[in-house]
Amino acid sequence: MEFGRVHDCIDNVFEKHLSKTQEFLRQRSISKEKVGLTEAAKWLKAYIGDMGGHAELVGRNDAPIVLAQFDLGKPKTLLIYGMYDVHPVGGQIWSSPPFDADVRQMPGIGPCIIARGACNSKGPLMGFLNALQAIRQVDEIPVNLILTIEGEEETGSPTLPVFYQENKGSLRAHAGFEPFWAEYGTDVDRPTLPLGTKGIITLELTCRGGDWGGPVVRPVHSSVGAWLASPTLRLMKALCTLFNEDEEIGIEGLYEEVAPPRAEDEELLLRIGTAFNERNILSVMGAKRFKFDLHGVNLLRKYFYSPTANVSLLPQTNGDTIPSETKAELVIRLVPEMNPDRTVEKVTRHLSANGYDDIKISVLSRYPWARTSIKDKVVQCMLDTYRCHGFEPQVIPFSASASPYYLFTQVLGIPYVSGGLGRAGGSHTSDEYASVEGLKLFEKSIVTFLYKFAMQ
């Protein structure tokens, strides 16, 4: 195989790869604020075109999908999922500006790119493209590639599912793949390979003044709180009914569809449990204790197979007032076999049954969970890749976060894997980072994976 020569090439040209990655990270592309999406998509289209791929912008004009192909007449075809949009940075305090993409020392890690998107997910996307560039300098890319890179992941991927449904024929591939860090500093402390991802529902809940009380026409000074009720407090009380004393979801019937772990997943849990270091994980998360008094396999099972809900009150700019309207965002993560539509119905029924039927529920996004099997050839290729580089990964049944991998499994009916060596972290928070050495290792592992996939 030629990947050893490509690895050497990466060592020789890595400063250019690092510079190109920083250039892309400096391009603001914030989907929730509709900032810079078209510019980022055009940047990607040009870069892919420069390396010999055919790229076009499809879907929405204001948040286009970058559809690209490397049709090389190879026996195997890989369908790539990627995203170029990032989370907002408002209200966060960074050690360097989030779109300067400076390289700084991080204690215990070394030189890192500090930038929004360095971890999630512009950094790994660029690592993948840089790896392709290096292959082309030494050899031919060993597989055909179809790339679908969206700019709406942080707003729930509303356009990409329609595109996949309408273009099933042209998206035919042997497997799906998202390039992403194996050591992702949110909830893992070693290179990790997930076999699934939770689904997600994002709801906007709005409480307005009305017949129940509260100001109706406009905000009023908080001094009249002895007379008027508060939509903010009412919404907070409504949200509290969604949880029990242990902060578990307390919505009636929500757990009826929750499936137990598969037999192969139980084997994974037992294997993980033998090396599970609770102190290390707490340190990675920057916390002092877990929410439940559970340990080992029981703690892992609770983590991977429990639906979760998170509440964020959306900011108001009315000062010391009682608002006429208050909004909150409710994010629910789904496990097998939970259905997104039925889950929304259960939330609606619950609020109504508890006397809050005046609260408006808007569905901002929703998509289901996905999973693959450790037996799938593409997963075995990634395992072989990690071992080739001297790492024995921790295989977990699920990532606790959500990604739209159901497009591979449920829409196209193909197996998938996500991965790539390297360390990054701080997703959605201040000082999001990607290790510089981790980026180089990531590129090399992508090269190895592509060659192994071609030979399977």
In this predicted model, what pLDDT tens digit does every residue of 85-98 receive, in sequence order? 999 999 899 999 99
Which domain-ending residue is among 341, 367, 393? 367
Residue 277 located in a structural domain: no
Same structural domain, 72 and 31: yes
Residue 294 located in a structural domain: no
> Tell me, what's the pLDDT at 275?
84
> Tell me, what's the pLDDT at 1?
60
Q: Which residue has the tokens 């071609």?
A: 454
Predicted confidence (pLDDT) at residue 193 exceeds the cutoff of 90: yes
Tell me the average pLDDT of the chain: 95
Same structural domain, 238 and 343: yes
Predicted confidence (pLDDT) at residue 187 exceeds the cutoff of 90: no
Please, which pLDDT band fits residue 167 given cuts at 50, 70 and 90? Answer: very high
> Tell me, what's the pLDDT at 438?
97
Tell me the mean pLDDT in the region 277-283: 92
Number of domains in the chain: 2
| Separation between Cα atoms, residue 327 and residue 325, nearest integer Å | 7
Same structural domain, 254 and 393: no
Tell me the mean pLDDT in the region 112-129: 98
Whether the Cβ atoms of residue 31 and residue 151 lie closer than 8 Å to each other: yes
Residue 212 located in a structural domain: yes
Same structural domain, 112 and 180: yes
Predicted confidence (pLDDT) at residue 374 exceeds the cutoff of 70: yes
HSE-up of 288 (CA within 13 Å, CB side)? 0
| Separation between Cα atoms, residue 117 and residue 125, nearest integer Å | 10
pLDDT in tens, 22-34: 999 999 999 999 9
Q: Which residue has the tokens 């996307």?
A: 125
What CATH number corresponds to the domain at position 362? 3.30.70.360
Predicted confidence (pLDDT) at residue 189 exceeds the cutoff of 80: no
Contacts for 222 with CB less than 8 Å, ≥ 6 apart = 320, 321, 322
**Which structure tokens are listed for 28?**
């603001």
Same structural domain, 354 and 405: no
Report the percentage of the chain scoring pLDDT > 70: 100
- Domain of residue 213 covers 199-260+305-367
Tell me the mean pLDDT in the region 400-405: 91
Same structural domain, 123 and 46: yes
pLDDT in tens, 210-257: 999 999 999 999 999 999 999 999 999 999 999 999 999 999 999 999
Report the percentage of the chain scoring pLDDT > 90: 91
Please, which pLDDT band fits residue 401 given cuts at 50, 70 and 90? Answer: confident
| Separation between Cα atoms, residue 79 and residue 349, nearest integer Å | 40
Please, which pLDDT band fits residue 313 given cuts at 50, 70 and 90? Answer: confident
Same structural domain, 355 and 380: no
Which region holds residue 247: left if phi is over 0, alpha if psi is between -120 and 50, else beta?
left
> Tell me, what's the pLDDT at 446?
98
Same structural domain, 311 and 209: yes
CA dihedral 443, 445, 446, 451 (to 10 degrees): 130
What CATH number corresponds to the domain at position 161? 3.40.630.10
Predicted confidence (pLDDT) at residue 274 exceeds the cutoff of 90: no
Whether the Cβ atoms of residue 31 and residue 65 lie closer than 8 Å to each other: no
Residue 272 located in a structural domain: no
Please, which pLDDT band fits residue 188 given cuts at 50, 70 and 90? Answer: confident
| Residue 186 phi, psi (nearest 5) | -115, -50
Amino acid at 295: H
Residue 20 located in a structural domain: yes
DSSP-assigned letters across all residues of 303-350:
HHS--EEEEEEPP----SEE-SEEEEEEEEEE-TT--HHHHHHHHHHH
| Residue 388 phi, psi (nearest 5) | -60, -30
Whether the Cβ atoms of residue 77 and residue 69 lie closer than 8 Å to each other: no
Same structural domain, 338 and 411: no
| Separation between Cα atoms, residue 29 and residue 50, nearest integer Å | 21
Predicted confidence (pLDDT) at residue 451 exceeds the cutoff of 80: yes
| Separation between Cα atoms, residue 358 and residue 303, nearest integer Å | 33
Predicted confidence (pLDDT) at residue 317 exceeds the cutoff of 90: no
Q: Which of 143-157, 305-319, 414-428 has the lowest mean pLDDT?
A: 305-319
Same structural domain, 215 and 167: no
Same structural domain, 9 and 125: yes
pLDDT in tens, 326-353: 999 999 999 999 999 999 999 999 999 9
| Separation between Cα atoms, residue 205 and residue 359, nearest integer Å | 6
Find the length of the chain: 456
pLDDT in tens, 3-15: 999 999 999 999 9
Predicted confidence (pLDDT) at residue 143 exceeds the cutoff of 80: yes
Q: Which of 226-230, 376-380, 399-403 has the lowest mean pLDDT?
A: 399-403
Same structural domain, 310 and 438: no
Predicted confidence (pLDDT) at residue 434 exceeds the cutoff of 80: yes
pLDDT in tens, 123-142: 999 999 999 999 999 999 99
Residue 397 located in a structural domain: yes
> Tell me, what's the pLDDT at 2?
79
| Separation between Cα atoms, residue 123 and residue 141, nearest integer Å | 21
